[in-house]
Structure 1
Amino acid sequence: MRRRTRLCAAALTAALLPAGTLSGQATAATRQADFRILPYLQSPSSSGITITWFTEDGGPGRLTVRGPGPRGRQIARVAGELQPDLAYTTAELTQEIPGLEQGSWLEGPDNYKHSTQVSGLRPGAQYHYTVEQGGETFRGRFRTAPAADRWQHIRLIAMSDSETEPRGRVQRREWAPGAGAAGRPSADPGSLWDRTYGTTVLSGTRVLRYPLTEDEGLRRNLAVVRDRSPDAVLFTGDLVQGGGYQPGWDEFFRHTAGASGDLLTDVPIIPAFGNWESYGAINGGYGTPEDRTPVVRSRAKFHAYFDAPGNGTPEHRDNYHRIDYGPVTVLTIDSNNGEPDDSAASYPPEEKLTGREYTGPGTDTQENFTRPEYEAAGGRDLSDHSPGGRQWTWVEQQLRDARAAGQIVLVQFHHAPYSSGEHGLPMNHALTSGQGGTPMRVYHPLFERYGVTAVVSGHSEMFERSFVDTDGDGTGVHYYDVGVSGDGLRGVRRDGPTLDSPPLAYNAFSRWTADQGEPEVWDVVGGTPRLLSGGKHYGHLEIDVDRVRGKSGRKARITLTPVHVFPVMDDTLTVLRTERRTYSDHVVIDVGADGTPAR
């Protein structure tokens, strides 16, 4: 651990419980703490950072920051501001979840936000901070981003699709079979695996459920991330199982700034909007064409929790933004609305594409609501990603500026433009999900022109890398789907209705997927197959940027490593522990003095 925190006794007890066993009594005790959400970090820069926490009474807290600076410390009195958009609904208060005591996951009725931007700090320096709130004191630390010309090593982590919800404490997701799955234990009803973890039917075939619950998978994934001491974490959308579902947000922060984990208390988060952040879950889903207020309320919750740097359009703040972390520029784009609006129903059956047919990316990543419907419900923050729009113009300007400054550019948004998974098909395809990421391909010419190193996304709940080099010069863009944080564990889309159908292979740019590129290796021990290696698991992408010295024309070396959290089981299928392991698809990119991938 890089630092210790002092929590109330109830919160500390809750933190020590195994994932998925947080009792109603422990939750109720935790509510007595003065922190509803522990302090978490946002908007890192070389001169400052934003520190935010939540309480249930709004009483002023005292923030003290110590470290290099003109006076050695800064002190601020930060009052809470009530966030009415974060109140529970009747549906949430009365919800029942099998396996959990009713209401045991709920917190108090009020959310007060305490947030302040700390400025005037020195580049690349370490600071300690203390937040005194009521009778509790929280201690953390952070490091400012280095100056663009004075740095040695930067580590970023990219994650997506954690999709937190209280149900995740007891829910194990279907484990789609991939390469090597023929060696798996029996999925028959009553088999050892079925009795231990459960099985389910997927596309007409009974398959195993994963040995970790969603809660356990995310918790162990985040623990691995914390042990790697990253400088920042990119969460590229679908943080929660419904942006309009308040218990989902409670769970997200329980894992990242609460009883089950505290990664974000000293590692800043750089978040992106996902499609789930527009979804009301049990509170009306996406609503109806006549009433899109569930979407408006969902996006409002995201805005309540996160505060990004401005982008020149106040109503679009938090949707798309730029973070410069030393020599690295991270551009975040909102991929949730394209224009003109489109839907699968717009194409008659006889006009729909089949197989690997492709006539273009389409214009819209979602058929669930239109801008007129959204704005009729009172929404004013919707930003489209289409060419010529405000966001597009902003993105091109930031790329131009970053390139002029010699920055290494990474881009994140939610909908993977190149995907072999569920959401990899355009709107006019017979198999479209209605939420395909292909429209985001319109940005590729910009990315390649301005030398973007990599793009990270999620959405299809795949672990996949694609490489696109349209001019054939060998220095294209690497695209990642990192949607394996803690929710679904899907495989590639199949060219047929069953799991034994061959892969559809719709994404011609795919270079690697975890489920097909890393065969499961099973060995029979004591008469029971035991997984030794391989397969698709919860994980994340580690991005290491190292300064290169003594090599003419080289500025840095970037290593992109796909990481998974591997469950080690004994011959009774009991999970003994999990281990950090890496997949074989390591990518190393040398970057030239101008910040672009070297040829």
Structure 2
Amino acid sequence: MRQSGRLAAAGVATLILLAGAVAPAGGAGSADDFRVLPYLQSPSSEGIRITWFTETDEPGRLTVRGPGIRGSLTTEVGGELLPELAYTDAERAQQIPGLEPGSWLLGADNYKHTELIDGLRPGTRYTYTVEQDGSTFRGRFETAPTADDWRQIRLIALSDSETEPLGRVQKREWAPGAGADGRPSAAAGSAWDQVHGTTTLSGTRVLRYPLTEDEGLRRNLAVIEQRSPDAVLFTGDLVQGGGYQPGWDEFFRSTAGAGGDLLTSVPILPAFGNWESFGALNGGYGTPDDRSPVVRSRAKFHAYFDGPANGTPAHQDNYYRVDYGPVTVLTLDSNNGQPDDAAANYAADEKLTGREYTGPGTDTQENFTREQYEAAGGTDLSDFGPGSVQWTWAERQLAEARAAGQIVVVQFHHVPYSSGEHGLPMNHALTSGQGGTPMRVYHPLFERYGVAAVISGHSEMFERSFVDEDGDGTGVHYYDVGVAGDGLRGVRREGATLDTAPLRYNPFSRWTADQSETERWVAGDGVPRLEAGGKHYGHLEIDVERLRGGDEIARITLTPVHVFPVLDDDLTVTRTERRTYGDQIVIDIGSDGRPTG
């Protein structure tokens, strides 16, 4: 962890005040010649990958300086035209209320420049410069430490940013949680409705959140950047449709562009989400006779991200391993379960109701089958079930990491244990058709090999579950961190409306932001104003500290963080603050890398 991060770690509960827009701080000179600023991937103790995009075929010049490099390391990096990132006619013709037509569109061409820098020293800071046409960008990065020589590591996990240009003007429904009786009126024409708006959701009028999706994500990322993490885990649903190019433009605008530059100095570890297979206005999931929108959608993810090799070229980027010092992060692809399944496969009188459960099922999505995908030309689907190539790879990585005494964290998109929208199996009457329960098949492996935590998203919840299948007191903590900047859902309800009781389908749930963190409203000139609590945009901070002496070698602290909107008496957001929820978890790690309790 960089020095600024170590200093920040001493005050986890400290409030950080933010106001206004977030702008890149790392660049020098004009950035007009960059479509996407340089961003970091595939960190290791020996190097890192630097990638950027332009709109012309001019090569760029990458220069790296730092310890062990005599003078500087300079490389000319050519650009590769990626036609799969071109705008469609539907995208060029799109109208978005509240935005000037086409104002969110960039140039027609996408040229990818990428270089894997290796041969560097572990745990060392370097600076880099990218000269592209008439523009220069200066950034920095730090290589990962070795497993033997480290002090502190900080990872940040978040999910479901689901970026799109509409997010610049759209405020999402804010599902009520515990203590919501004190909320302002959600009636049409009420004070809240006049400032932020309200909407009808499942037959119940609810408040809209006071920040747009874009503001929520950017302020969330700004808080993350101030914490100086060593890497950021994005566990899927990065964009509102993987086949929707403006969604990718918005994602990088917020992370490596005009709206924020976190990824220019902090490497990203992304996972495939279900939205990365969705074409949005370019055909959605397609039809049973034509799943080409899904193929095109997944191709865009592959275009932007280059993960470490996993031994199966057809599955490149779907799942991979990154060792950051003593921490092994395994990223899995939870999108293709076999055999394929769908809610329509179960007759009405066969469907489960209430809290009934007969098993996890085999498939996390009913939207397309493997046969349909491959008939459309797709070749990259990776089954996650027992006996599959991915399963075998994952078990081998777990065994190798355990033999090396590594601390293991796993991430994938579909949360296995959830109280939310996607927490029910395919044979339940209330299933979304995209339930994450099939990923429970991995739990015996995770418990056997001593996985410390599993990070997911998908239900757009902020939830922690704890599963100890063998009853020895040492289990696995599962998180849904789907609060990056899109939906703000609450727990699944027994009935169709939000005023019915929580279904409580997940018996392993230990904490949710909407039900465990009571909203506390205070009156100001007759209009209630939120003082604390409730569900907000945020992320999970994962701090790993080395211990000296004793039986434990390390301590992991997992802190759920939210970006709290401070309102004045007119219900206007005056600033946002970094706050932590009360469910901080501390895990001690033994000499073999396993949690000790």
Tell me how far apart the structure 2 counterparts of residues 435 and 287 of structure 1 sit (CA, whole Å). Answer: 16
Give the equivalent residue in structure 2 for 1:264: 263
Whether contact under 8 Å (2:163, 2:239) holds in the other structure is yes
Superposed displacement of residue 32, structure 1: 8.3
Give the equivalent residue in structure 2 for 1:233: 232
Superposed displacement of residue 133, structure 1: 0.4
Matched, 1:213 2:208: no
Secondary structure of 1:40's match?
A: strand
Secondary structure of 1:93's match?
A: helix
Give the equivalent residue in structure 1 for 2:10: none
Tell me how far apart the structure 1 counterparts of residues 21 and 152 of structure 2 sit (CA, whole Å). Answer: 33
Q: Runs ≥4 in structure 1, deviation > 3 angstroms?
A: 16-21
TM-score, reference length from structure 2: 0.95
Give the equivalent residue in structure 1 for 2:65: 66
Matching of residues 36-435 of structure 1 within 5 Å: 36-435=35-434
Which whole-Å deviations, capped at 9, do the CAs of 1:482-503 have from their partners, x for residues lacking one? 0000000000000112212111
Give the equivalent residue in structure 2 for 1:9: none
Superposed displacement of residue 73, structure 1: 2.3
Give the equivalent residue in structure 1 for 2:561: 563
Whether contact under 8 Å (2:22, 2:218) holds in the other structure is no
Between 1:67-76 and 1:278-287, the stretch displaced more is: 67-76
Give the equivalent residue in structure 2 for 1:10: none
Superposed displacement of residue 436, structure 1: 0.1
Residue 532 of structure 2 aligns with an amino acid whose one-letter code is S
Give the equivalent residue in structure 1 for 2:26: none
Tell me how far apart the structure 2 counterparts of residues 2 and 278 of structure 1 sit (CA, whole Å). Answer: 39
Whether contact under 8 Å (1:272, 1:413) holds in the other structure is yes
Give the equivalent residue in structure 1 for 2:14: none
Whether contact under 8 Å (2:565, 2:573) holds in the other structure is yes
Superposed displacement of residue 31, structure 1: 11
Give the equivalent residue in structure 1 for 2:12: none
Give the equivalent residue in structure 2 for 1:469: 468
Tell me how far apart the structure 1 counterparts of residues 255 and 3 of structure 2 sit (CA, whole Å). Answer: 15
Give the equivalent residue in structure 1 for 2:589: 591
Whether contact under 8 Å (2:331, 2:410) holds in the other structure is yes
Which whole-Å deviations, capped at 9, do the CAs of 1:450-501 have from their partners, x for residues lacking one? 0000000000000000000001111100000000000000000001122121
Secondary structure of 2:280's match?
A: coil
Tell me how far apart the structure 1 counterparts of residues 472 and 323 of structure 2 sit (CA, whole Å). Answer: 28
Which whole-Å deviations, capped at 9, do the CAs of 1:383-436 have from their partners, x for residues lacking one? 010110000000000000000000000000000000000000000000000000
Residue 42 of structure 2 aligns with an amino acid whose one-letter code is S
Which whole-Å deviations, capped at 9, do the CAs of 1:149-174 have from their partners, x for residues lacking one? 00000000001000000000000000
Residue 293 of structure 2 aligns with an amino acid whose one-letter code is P
Which whole-Å deviations, capped at 9, do the CAs of 1:303-348 have from their partners, x for residues lacking one? 0000000111001000000000000000000000100000000000
Which whole-Å deviations, capped at 9, do the CAs of 1:242-278 have from their partners, x for residues lacking one? 0000000000000000000000000000000000000
Superposed displacement of residue 69, structure 1: 1.4
> Which sections of structure 2, spanning at least 5 residues, go unmatched?
5-17, 24-28
Give the equivalent residue in structure 2 for 1:554: 552
**From 565, 579, 582, the counterpart of 1:581:** 579
Tell me how far apart the structure 2 counterparts of residues 17 and 553 of structure 1 sit (CA, whole Å). Answer: 45
- The count of corresponding residues between Structure 1 and Structure 2 is 578
Residue 496 of structure 1 aligns with an amino acid whose one-letter code is G
Matching of residues 469-548 of structure 1 within 5 Å: 469-548=468-547
Secondary structure of 2:281's match?
A: coil
Tell me how far apart the structure 2 counterparts of residues 341 and 499 of structure 1 sit (CA, whole Å). Answer: 32
Superposed displacement of residue 58, structure 1: 2.0
Tell me how far apart the structure 2 counterparts of residues 359 and 509 of structure 1 sit (CA, whole Å). Answer: 16
Which whole-Å deviations, capped at 9, do the CAs of 1:191-229 have from their partners, x for residues lacking one? 111010000001111110000000000000000000000
Give the equivalent residue in structure 1 for 2:13: none
Superposed displacement of residue 71, structure 1: 2.2
Q: 1:129 to 1:20 in 2, by over 3 A?
A: closer
Superposed displacement of residue 525, structure 1: 1.4
Superposed displacement of residue 126, structure 1: 0.2
Secondary structure of 2:463's match?
A: strand
Tell me how far apart the structure 2 counterparts of residues 20 and 434 of structure 1 sit (CA, whole Å). Answer: 37
Give the equivalent residue in structure 2 for 1:26: none
Secondary structure of 2:447's match?
A: helix
Tell me how far apart the structure 1 counterparts of residues 80 and 105 of structure 2 sit (CA, whole Å). Answer: 20
Q: 1:87 to 1:436 in 2, by over 3 A?
A: same
Q: RCO higher in 1 or 2 (8 Å CA, sep ≥ 6)? A: 2
Q: 1:17 to 1:579 in 2, by over 3 A?
A: closer
Tell me how far apart the structure 2 counterparts of residues 2 and 104 of structure 1 sit (CA, whole Å). Answer: 40
Tell me how far apart the structure 1 counterparts of residues 487 and 292 of structure 2 sit (CA, whole Å). Answer: 27
Whether contact under 8 Å (2:456, 2:479) holds in the other structure is yes
Tell me how far apart the structure 1 counterparts of residues 546 and 427 of structure 2 sit (CA, whole Å). Answer: 45
> Which sections of structure 1, spanning at least 5 residues, go unmatched?
4-15, 22-29
Which whole-Å deviations, capped at 9, do the CAs of 1:551-579 have from their partners, x for residues lacking one? x2211000000000000001110111000
Secondary structure of 1:282's match?
A: helix
Give the equivalent residue in structure 2 for 1:13: none
Secondary structure of 1:69's match?
A: coil
Q: 1:406 to 1:136 in 2, by over 3 A?
A: same
Whether contact under 8 Å (1:20, 1:213) holds in the other structure is no
Tell me how far apart the structure 1 counterparts of residues 274 and 535 of structure 2 sit (CA, whole Å). Answer: 23
Tell me how far apart the structure 2 counterparts of residues 594 and 74 of structure 1 sit (CA, whole Å). Answer: 38
Tell me how far apart the structure 2 counterparts of residues 184 and 566 of structure 1 sit (CA, whole Å). Answer: 16
Which whole-Å deviations, capped at 9, do the CAs of 1:340-393 have from their partners, x for residues lacking one? 000000000000000000000000000000111000100011101011000000
Tell me how far apart the structure 1 counterparts of residues 266 and 46 of structure 2 sit (CA, whole Å). Answer: 16
Tell me how far apart the structure 2 counterparts of residues 243 and 2 of structure 1 sit (CA, whole Å). Answer: 36
Tell me how far apart the structure 2 counterparts of residues 133 and 261 of structure 1 sit (CA, whole Å). Answer: 20
Whether contact under 8 Å (1:338, 1:385) holds in the other structure is yes
TM-score, reference length from structure 1: 0.95
Secondary structure of 2:402's match?
A: helix
Tell me how far apart the structure 2 counterparts of residues 123 and 300 of structure 1 sit (CA, whole Å). Answer: 33
Tell me how far apart the structure 1 counterparts of residues 121 and 387 of structure 2 sit (CA, whole Å). Answer: 38
Whether contact under 8 Å (2:464, 2:477) holds in the other structure is yes
Give the equivalent residue in structure 1 for 2:15: none
Whether contact under 8 Å (2:19, 2:575) holds in the other structure is no
Superposed displacement of residue 18, structure 1: 5.2
Tell me how far apart the structure 2 counterparts of residues 323 and 361 of structure 1 sit (CA, whole Å). Answer: 28
Tell me how far apart the structure 1 counterparts of residues 318 and 3 of structure 2 sit (CA, whole Å). Answer: 32
Between 1:223-232 and 1:186-195, the stretch displaced more is: 186-195
Whether contact under 8 Å (2:161, 2:485) holds in the other structure is yes
Whether contact under 8 Å (1:187, 1:208) holds in the other structure is yes
Tell me how far apart the structure 1 counterparts of residues 71 and 199 of structure 2 sit (CA, whole Å). Answer: 59
Tell me how far apart the structure 2 counterparts of residues 370 and 583 of structure 1 sit (CA, whole Å). Answer: 40
Q: 1:226 to 1:141 in 2, by over 3 A?
A: same
Residue 318 of structure 2 aligns with an amino acid whose one-letter code is N
Secondary structure of 2:521's match?
A: strand
Secondary structure of 1:395's match?
A: helix
Residue 595 of structure 1 aligns with an amino acid whose one-letter code is G
Residue 561 of structure 2 aligns with an amino acid whose one-letter code is V
Residue 254 of structure 1 aligns with an amino acid whose one-letter code is R
